[in-house]
Amino acid sequence: MDACSESRQRKDGAFHFPVFHRKHPCVDEDPSTIHAASVSDAGTVIGNDKIHQGKYFMAIRLGTPAVFNLVTIDTGSTLSWVNCKRCRIRCHEQAARSWPQAGPSPLRHADNGVPYGCVDETDTCLYGLRYGSQYSAGKLGRDRLALGDNYTIVDDFVFGCSEDDMFYGLEAGVIGLGDKRYSFFNQMARLTTYNAFAYCFPGDHRAEGGYGRRQHVYSVLLLGIAVDGKPLEVDGRQILVVDSGTDDTFVSSSVFYALAEAIASAMQDKAYYREYGRKVCFRPAGGEPVNWRSLPTVQMQLLRATLELPPENVFHQQSTDRICLAFQSNDAAGVPDVQILGNKALRPFRVVYDLQKMTFGFQARAC
């Protein structure tokens, strides 16, 4: 098995899968041509902004016989799903590399553990999921899930067979890492001895990252935010859902506006001017390329740790002379009562979820 498709179970019982950005040598140079042949072994994880901005993907083989599906890795949801072979109502458009789709055995009324509605007359169970303004609905099924060289990980993997959705990506669906009995990792739990997992999404497209095995969402307590070491003059205490499937970080409106003003003040001192629009963006006053070394940093004070975010984690680069803040008000997320710690802030941290000790770990510059 080559380095581009290495998916293995280590001697300590943990599973390891590589993570690749869309420009990594293991992925075709043209991101529009990603398909089963270019990530031939399920378990490879890909970052591809052309498919869906800011998300990371995992190649899996699902069904009997196995079929290739490219799915978003999402710690903010629990149930995994892909489009059904027959879309009965409306299904999102998929890129050629994201199908064929699965056609599972139906999950019967007698099956336990998945809290969705069942229909006695047809002896089938249904599901419905919402992601802000997006959603997926369909039937529950079970089938074989294979990773890496068709090595079977779960024989009776429970997932959703979508028959109606409004989904903005071109990938086949979502693989849920949340802490419920039927999530991807909890269905793998019978093959491991310790209840924890970790991932590292690379910020440098030449680097390899990865993730390993193992409240249905995971959250941390944010105590406050500082810019270049100076705390914001606002109460920043709030719960942040750690969501690998969301790019930006969404904080309460009061914290966001204080952060935006502090960043704008720091940028003005460095001869950048602010553009006003839906997002907070900046350009160098002289029109020269962005000097990343001179940009402000952000410190996120958690209960037992401080995340030191360098400029690359604070801003998105839109062009050589334009950058935008990778933070937004939670009002913009469509769920105003939820704050989210997105994956942009955590690249290239290794994020460890120790569910037995109920703690998080963050290791900077890990991939």
- CATH number for the domain harbouring residue 16: 2.40.70.10
Give the least confident one: 190-204, 225-239, 242-256, 351-365: 190-204
Report d(CA 292, CA 164) in Å as an integer: 43
Q: Is the pTM of this model over 0.85?
A: no
Per-residue model confidence (pLDDT) at position 295: 96
Do 258 and 156 lie in one domain? The reply is no
Report d(CA 274, CA 295) in Å as an integer: 14
Our answer to whether residue 269 is catalytic in this structure is: no
DSSP annotation of 181 = T
Q: Is 105's pLDDT higher than 80?
A: no
Residue 201 falls inside a structural domain: no
Do 109 and 150 lie in one domain? The reply is yes
C-alpha of 195 from chain center: 20
DSSP annotation of 52 = S
Do 283 and 355 lie in one domain? The reply is yes
Our answer to whether residue 243 is catalytic in this structure is: yes
Do 237 and 333 lie in one domain? The reply is yes
203-240 pLDDT, tens digit each: 654 444 454 433 457 888 999 999 999 999 999 899 99
Of 306, 348, 325, residue with least CA distance to 249: 325
Q: What are phi and psi of 306, to 5 degrees?
A: -120, 125
Report d(CA 165, CA 149) in Å as an integer: 31
Question: Which amino acid type is present at position 335?
Answer: V
Q: What are phi and psi of 233, to 5 degrees?
A: -90, 60
Structure tokens that stand for 299 in this block? 């410190």
Going from the C-alpha of 265 to that of each of 89, 234, 268, the distances in angstroms are: 50, 16, 5
Per-residue model confidence (pLDDT) at position 211: 40
Q: Which of 179, 243, 247, 248 is catalytic?
A: 243
More confident residue, 335 or 330: 330
59-98 pLDDT, tens digit each: 788 888 888 777 888 888 888 988 876 666 666 666 554 4
Do 28 and 131 lie in one domain? The reply is yes
What's the pLDDT band for 8 if we cut at 50, 70, 90? low
> Under 8 Å CB-to-CB from 349, ≥6 apart: which residues?
200, 307, 362, 363, 364, 365, 366
Q: Which of 74, 143, 247, 248 is catalytic?
A: 74
Q: Which domain holds residue 280?
A: 219-363
Q: Where are the alpha helices (DSSP H) in the chain?
A: 184-188, 253-269, 311-314
